[in-house]
Amino acid sequence: MLLAEDDRAIRHALERALTLEGYEVTAVADGVEAIAQAHRSAPDILVLDVMMPGIDGLQVCRVLRAEGDRTPILMLTALVETPDRIAGLDAGADDYVVKPFDVDEVFARLRALLRRTSGASSDDGRDVSPELDGQVAAADLRMDPQARRAWRGERELELTRTEFDLLELLVRNAGIVLDHATIYDRIWGYDFGPGSKNLA
């Protein structure tokens, strides 16, 4: 795991808590170090503070996603407004935790992201779309959740992690109308509220 947090006290406390939880943690203090470390040894998951000096967490996300890096990213942020959350998700983050946070929530969100990495099934344990060798399909769309690859016909699709998770959710629930709250909960783990329209 790669942890990037410029606040020394938070960084040390979180690094210690994550290590005690069983994670192997590499901790850095800014976005430049985060990108360099991600290039040196690909982590299983990244935890990034949004507001860091030099290159902030959002820029780190954009750089890694532009390079095709689909490692799950959890953002730590003091910004609580909906536009701030949307900006983080649009930058390529998979989820975020608002400061001040409970470390147990960080653990829970990390577990959820790592579960998604290994592929997910519908809540009742069944796959509603046909599978071939672990793949799921709907019409001319085919997905391999384990490899996190998707094709439409013979053309492979380039998807961010969140786009892949959303598409997989829809394919696995083909023919079922999913409301906003369900989609938000399944993909991001929380509800943006009834006024949100970014899935309308």
**In 10 A of CB 20, how many CB atoms?**
9
Summarize pLDDT for 82-121 with one digit per residue, the tens: 777 788 888 888 888 888 888 998 999 898 888 876 654 3
Tell me the pLDDT band of 127, cut-offs 50, 70 and 90: very low
pLDDT in tens, 48-78: 999 988 889 999 999 998 888 889 999 998 8
Q: Is the pLDDT of residue 6 over 80?
A: yes
pLDDT in tens, 20-59: 999 999 999 999 999 999 999 889 999 999 998 888 999 9
Q: Name the CATH topology of 131-188.
A: Arc Repressor Mutant, subunit A (1.10.10)
Residue with tokens 């005690």: 20
pLDDT band at 199 (very low <50, low <70, confident <90, very high): very low
Per-residue pLDDT at 122 exceeds 60: no
Q: Please give the single-letter amino acid code of residue 44.
A: D
Domain 2-117 has CATH 3.50.50.60: no
pLDDT at 132 over 70: no
Three-class HEC string of 15-62: HHHHHHCCCCCEEECCHHHHHHHHHHCCCCCEEEECCCCCCCHHHHHH
The type of residue at 121 is S
* pLDDT given at position 190: 57
Instruction: Report the alpha-carbon distance of residue 88 to residue 73 in Å, rounded.
Output: 10
Supply the pLDDT for residue 175: 67
List every span in the chain annotated with CATH 1.10.10.10.
131-188
Distances (CA, A) of 159 to 2, 87, 116: 22, 18, 15
Kindly report the pTM of this predicted structure: 0.59
CATH 3.40.50.2300 maps onto the chain at: 2-117
CA dist., res. 111 & res. 114, Å (int): 5
Q: Is the pLDDT of residue 15 over 90?
A: yes
pLDDT for res 187? 76
Residue range 13-26: mean pLDDT, rounded: 93
- Quick: pLDDT tens for 133-190: 567 788 888 888 888 889 988 899 998 888 888 888 888 777 677 677 777 777 776 5
Q: Determine the pLDDT at residue 133.
A: 53
